[in-house]
Structure formats: C-alpha cells, structure tokens
Amino acid sequence: MTTNTRIVLAARPQGQAGLEHFRLETVALEPLQEGQVRVRHHYLSLDPYMRGRMNEGKSYAAPQPLNEVMIGGTVGEVIESRHPRYTPGDWVVGMGGWQQIGVVDANQVGALHKVDPTHVPLSHYLGAVGMPGVTAWYGLVRIIDPQPGQTVTVSAASGAVGSAVGVLAKARGCRVVGIAGGPDKCAYVREELGFDDCIDHRRYPDYLALAQALKAACPQGIDGHFENVGGAVLDAALLRSNAFARFAICGMIAGYEGQPLPLLNPALILVNRLRVQGFIVSEQMQDWPPALAELGQLVGSGRFRPRETIAQGIESAPAAFLGLLKGHNFGKQLVRLI
Amino acid sequence: MTTNTRIVLAARPQGQAGLEHFRLETVALEPLQEGQVRVRHHYLSLDPYMRGRMNEGKSYAAPQPLNEVMIGGTVGEVIESRHPRYTPGDWVVGMGGWQQIGVVDANQVGALHKVDPTHVPLSHYLGAVGMPGVTAWYGLVRIIDPQPGQTVTVSAASGAVGSAVGVLAKARGCRVVGIAGGPDKCAYVREELGFDDCIDHRRYPDYLALAQALKAACPQGIDGHFENVGGAVLDAALLRSNAFARFAICGMIAGYEGQPLPLLNPALILVNRLRVQGFIVSEQMQDWPPALAELGQLVGSGRFRPRETIAQGIESAPAAFLGLLKGHNFGKQLVRLI
C-alpha cells in the first residue's frame, strides 16, 4: 500500500450527527521520521464518547479538530518501524484514529501497547480487554465498590462497557440487573452474560414505569448503579436507590445530541445520601493494569464472551458510528479495516 | 410549673406548610420514672429538616407522627432527675422537641449531652457548636475536603450551617464565596463572617445570570460547593464547577414544598468528573467530637460570632418556623422558652 484512506471531521453537528459531518479522504503515505512506527490497523473501535468530541465547547477533552482524522482506538500490526522497541509483526493497540494506516510517535508515553492475539482474539483489545472493559472496572470497583449480596444495575447492559460491568459484578457476588433496548439484547444479557435479570426499557413509556420494572427486578433496592445512558434510566434508578447507594456516571449518551436532559429528582441524592460520581477512564491510568489482568482472565478463560458488531471497511465507519448512537449495534461496535 | 405547653403536628401539609398544621397544647406534668430526667428548655432550635419530617412518605427519617410533639433540638437546665448521671442545675442539649419542658430517658445513648454555658453562650450549642455546625464541618471536611487556595462556595451563607461552612473553609486557606438572599445578609457574610465575597441571588433572574455572577466572584472556578438550597443555585454552581469538584448536598430547601426541582444539566457531573454526595449529620456520630472541638474553639475565641434570630415563647414557634422556610430569619433561628 502506498496510500492511506481515512475519515476526517468535515463539519460540527448542530443537534443530530449525520453522514454529512464526515469526509472520506485518500492520501499518500509519508516517509517515517526517527522514532515513528507505522501500523496497519486491523480494527477500529467506535465509542459513544466520540460524539462529544465532535462538538465545540467545554468538555473534559479538547474537541476533535475539523478536517483532521477522527480520533479512535485501534489495534493492528506494525508494518514499519524507526523505533527500537517495535519491529514489523508486532501487534499493538493505540489511538490510531479512523484510518487504515497510522503513524505513531512511539516515544510518547502510552502511545502504543503491545498485545498478544493468542491470549484473546485481537478485537477484544478494543473492547472487554481494552478501554471499555477498564471503564467498566473502574466505575464498578472504584466508585460503586459493591459488596457481596448487594444489587448492581447497569444501563446499556449489552454494550461493551455494560456487559463487562455485569460480569465483573457477578464475579463479586452481586445481584446484577441490566437495562437494554429490545428483547434480543435482554435475552443475551440474561442468558449469555449471566445477569440475574434484564429490563427492556422500550417496554416502558416513562421513568415511573421503568422504576416499577426496576422495583420488581431489584426487590432489595439498588446499591450501585452504573450509568451509560442518562435520562429516564437514571431517573428511574435514582427512584429505586437504597440509602448510601453509589452511582458511577460513565455516559450520558441520551443527552449527547440536542437539549440537555434534566435530572428530575435530585433531592433523592440527599434523601438517600447517595454518592454520584462522574469519571473518565483515561485519567485513571493507575488502574489499567489490575483491570486488564482481571478482564483478560475472564475473557481468556471463556467465562466472559463479549459480543461484537463488526462493520467492514473504513468507508463504513460513519454509518456504523451513527447507528451506535441510536443503539443499532449489539455489543462492542468495531470496524474491520483489513 | 405543673404544666407543659407544647406544639404538636395537627395535620400534614399538602404543598405549603401553614399555621393550621400546628396545634398548641397545655398538659399536666407526669411523675418521673426511674432513669428519666426532666429538663426546662431554654432554647428550641428551628431547622429546615423539620419540614421534610412533616411529610408522609419515604425519606431518610420516619415522618413526624401526627398529634405528637414536633421534634427539635433543645438546650436547657435539668430541673428533676431520677438518673445518677444528672442532677438539677446541669445544662444539657437533647432532642427535647417543641415544648417548654421535656422528659428524657437518660439511659438512651446520646439522648442528653452536658454542655458548659461559660465556654460559649448557651444558645450556640444549638447552632455553631451544635448540629448545624457539625453539619457544616462534615460536609466541608469529609466531602469537599478543600485544599488551600481552592475556591469553596456555599448557599444560604448567612444561615447557621452556611456561616460555619465559610468560617471553617477560610480557616483552611480557601477562597470562600457565599450566596445569600438580600443585601443585609450579604454584607454580614462579607464583613462579619469574613467571606471573600457574597452574591445576592435575588438580584439574578435565573440560574444563567447567577452563574455569570459566580464566574465573576470565582475567577478560578469552583472546587467545592456546599448546597443548602438546591434549584437555581445548584444549577449555577454546577455550571461553574472545575474538574474533580466536590458537591456536598446538605439541603434542598427550595424543593421541600410542592413539586420536585429538576437538576438542569446533570451531564456536567460527567463532563467535569464531579462527586455529588448527600449526607445526614446524625449518621456520622464519629465526627462530632473533632467537629465540636474546632467549632467550640472558633466560637469561644471570638473568631466566629454566629448571628441568631430569636423568637420569644413556645407559641411563636410555628410562625418562626414558617418564616425560616421563606428565609426571613437572619442566622440561626431559635425560640427562647424562658
């Protein structure tokens, strides 16, 4: 290959994101500089956080620059190296972006991590044994800190993060109840992931009805809630929270587009003496090694079989991403680039 | 005295509380049982939490029973004792309720605490050197945990809790900005309590205008916020929060009557990786001794001169309480019962 095909951010969405906000480009490869490594990406990870980066304005991270390659996690093979620690044939994870081939300054700390595709399938290093898995681990272990016998709920339960939350919580002796969209996802959450129950939020017209369903599924109330969605799900979980419950706020995908979603009953934070805490996993690097060790063990041993939705080819990434924002994916959303 | 005059809850308010929900009663004194102590109350404390107890339904505490003496903190003098640890003339703090004379089972752990009226004035044991002061200490020290140079904001800043939050935060080297209602309260907060600034929320029509005022008063953003009010004040503070800011949720007085107040931008909890935590000081008994030691030192040395609004006579308690809910008090609201 002498060219690289990539997706850049063409325009910032005002409200809902669409295909018109992305642009496909093909560019010639440049010679490597000293210290650089060229990686042929096999998989690109698509994640909800990317939607936030497409907006201008204050957030926890700088916005995605216009006309530059969309950011994204990637796993692939080193095909050329001018850095002594890397040789062609190495398998590496990095933030290679929405493109077939990435060039990385390997002297940057944490820019690349070598992985072993014989331990777990390559794609899982972008999911259960990667950023989404560590996100689940941090929110569950460091914020919710669940005790055996407690009840933990998680929204977007069939997704890359939610599925890992449930498996990790089951491993800690908790009752685990998922919330997901549609009967297929709920069946997967219950039967394949081993959650105790899963609620199909599409069956409930509002947060009060959803709270009734949570009451039935969580007869002892909710001690920990892992939030990937926000909106009605969060309102319902708050209503069923026990005294001293912990809420790990990982995503507010429901509010990423359009108007902010209010929290209807914040007085419950006081009434139930809750701790509600937001976090970003990239700021918690100290916890990646223990998290990846546990997750690698769960996946490598077959106790956790993460589900994936894989789009083919870099040109399919924008549509796959827009589908992810609407919940069309089932499990971890990836793009195969080979 | 052979009779006791007291206020009972006559009816539960639907919406706004009024005088019709209280009833004055005079009853004969009963002989003491073994282990009981009779206390002539000198002061009754009126606090916002009492409004929540008047409602039926789930909260952190059982509702105030109908036709029984309203609960409330009291300080007074032992006038009769059938318990070996107490003798007439002792000064004690307890939960004696809205009445002139209380009878306490002194064998109940924590039912009575002896106090020294030569150390600080008696009434302060119901305020700065009592439950409101410890409330301030716990939320500030255990939840906000402010570092020197950080900015701490507090609503209802001239009140019993808010004033103590500010004095304790100044003692820790913070920039402290209060929010209070009216120019007199703000002048007191700045000039007598020594806050760096105080914002009169009545001057700002909505939370966005209030957030602009907070921006001017907190040029480095908000690292810790102590919430006594909720509603627009909390929305505004969230908008000005720094990354990793801590929000201690102590009161939602704005929502105690009528409809719940939504939180407009909960996504900020994620964006700014906030910790938002509710608490009830009566569940944190381990922290009362260090809190009272520091607060007693601040008040006893004259560095903290808490302000009080004192109504006269048990019959004035209902109107004084309703005024407290509307912010008519200035500093700690008490009723003098002698």
Can you read off the two tokens belonging to residue A63? 């916005």
Mind spelling out the 3-state secondary structure of chain A? CCEEEEEEECCCCCCCCCHHHEEEEEEECCCCCCCEEEEEEEEEECCCHHHHHCCCCCCCCCCCCCCCECCCCEEEEEEEECCCCCCCCCEEEECCCCECEEEEECCCCCCEEECCCCCCCHHHHHCCCCHHHHHHHHHHHHHHCCCCCCEEEEECCCCHHHHHHHHHHHHCCCEEEEEECCHHHHHHHHHHCCCCEEEEHHHCCCHHHHHHHHHHHCCCCEEEEEECCCCHHHHHHHHCEEEEEEEEECCCHHHCCCCCCCECCCHHHHHCCCEEEECCHHHCHHHHHHHHHHHHHHHHCCCCCCCEEEEECHHHHHHHHHHHHCCCCCCEEEEECC
Distance CA A165, CA A176 (A): 9
Residues of chain B with CATH 3.90.180.10: 3-127+306-336
pLDDT tens figures, B15-68: 899 999 999 999 999 999 999 999 999 999 999 889 989 988 766 678 899 999
Q: Which residues of A153-174 are buried (b: 16+ CB within 10 A; e: fewer)?
A: bbbbbbbbbbbbbbbbbbbbeb
Q: What is the CATH number of domain B3-127+306-336?
A: 3.90.180.10
CA proximity to A171, closest of A297, A330, A331? A297
Tokens of B82: 């059938």
- Measured between beta carbons, the chain B residues lying within 8 angstroms of A255 are 267
A chain contacts of residue B255, beta-carbon cutoff 8 Å: 267
Q: Which of B111, B137, B154, B131 is nearest to B47 (CA)?
A: B131
The pLDDT tens digits for B107-161 are: 998 899 999 999 899 999 999 999 999 999 999 999 999 999 999 999 999 999 9
Which residues in chain B are contacts of A59 at CB distance < 8 A?
271
pLDDT at B259: 67
Residues of A in contact with B235 (CB under 8 A): none
For the CA atoms of B283, B286, B291, B292, the dihedral, rounded to the nearest 10 degrees, stands at: 90
Residue B22 CA, distance from chain mean position: 21
Encode chain A (338 residues) as per-residue pLDDT tens digits. Answer: 799 999 999 999 988 999 999 999 999 999 999 999 999 999 999 998 899 899 887 666 788 999 999 999 999 999 999 999 999 999 999 999 999 999 999 999 889 999 999 989 999 999 999 999 999 999 999 999 999 999 999 999 999 999 999 999 999 999 999 999 999 999 999 999 999 999 999 999 999 999 999 999 999 999 999 999 999 999 999 999 999 999 999 998 766 666 678 999 999 999 999 999 999 998 999 999 999 999 999 999 999 999 999 999 999 999 999 999 988 999 999 999 99
pLDDT for A166 equals 98
Using an 8 Å CB-CB cutoff, list residues of chain B that contact chain A: 52, 58-60, 230, 234, 243, 249-252, 255, 260-267, 269-280, 283
Residues of chain B with CATH 3.40.50.720: 131-282
Contact list in A for residue B272 (CB cut-off 8 A) is 60, 278
Evaluate whether A273 touches B279 at the Cβ level (below 8 Å): yes
3 state SS of B272: coil
The residue among B203, B278, B275 whose CA lies nearest residue B238 is B275
How far apart (Å, rounded) are the C-alpha atoms in residues A334 and B225? 41
Question: Mind listing the pLDDT tens digit for each residue in B91-100?
Answer: 999 999 999 9
How far, in Å, CA of A189 to CA of A195, rounded?
A: 6
ipTM of the complex: 0.90
Q: Which of B100, B97, B147 is nearest to B126 (CA)?
A: B97
Distance between CA atoms of residues B171 and B224, nearest Å: 15
Amino acid at the residue A178: G
Burial class (CB within 10 angstroms; exposed 0-12, middle 13-18, buried 19+) of A225: buried
Contact (CB, 8 A) for B20 and B9: no
Residue B17: the pLDDT is 94
Q: How far is A295 from chain B (nearest CA, A)?
A: 24
Task: Tell me which residue in B255, B265, B276 faces A276 most closely, judged by beta carbons.
Answer: B276
State the average pLDDT over residues B303-323: 96
What per-residue confidence (pLDDT) applies to B254? 63
Query: Which CA distances in Å does A302 have to A122, A124, A125, A162, A193?
Result: 15, 12, 15, 18, 11
Question: From CA A168, how far away is CA A190, in angstroms rounded?
Answer: 14
Q: Count CB atoms within 10 A of the CB of residue A182.
A: 15
User: Residue A111: is it exposed, middle or buried by C-beta count within 10 angstroms (0-12/13-18/19+)?
Assistant: middle
Distance (Å) of CA B124 to CA A69, B43, B282, B296, B334: 63, 10, 18, 9, 10
**Angle made by CA atoms A63, A64, A66, in degrees to the nearest 5:** 115
> C-alpha angle with apex A291: A285 to A295, nearest 5 degrees?
145
Contact B86, B72 (CB under 8 A): no
**Is CATH 2.60.130.10 correct for A131-282?**
no
> What's the CA gap between A168 and A163, in Å, rounded?
9
d(CA A50, CA A197): 30
SS3 B4: strand
Contacts of B14 (CB under 8 A, 6+ apart): none
Task: Report pLDDT digits (tens) over B182-191.
Answer: 999 999 999 9
Are B277 and A276 an interchain contact pair (Cβ–Cβ within 8 Å)?
yes
- Residue A228 with chain B: CB contacts under 8 Å: none
Of A261, A270, A283, the CB nearest to B278: A270
Closest Cα of chain B to A121: distance in Å?
31
Nearest to B262 among A59, A264, A270 (CB): A264
User: What is the rounded average pLDDT for all residues in chain B?
Assistant: 94
Nearest to A60 among B52, B271, B279 (CB): B271
CA-nearest of A124, A122, A101, A115 to A36 is A101
Phi, psi of A114 (to 5 degrees): -75, 140
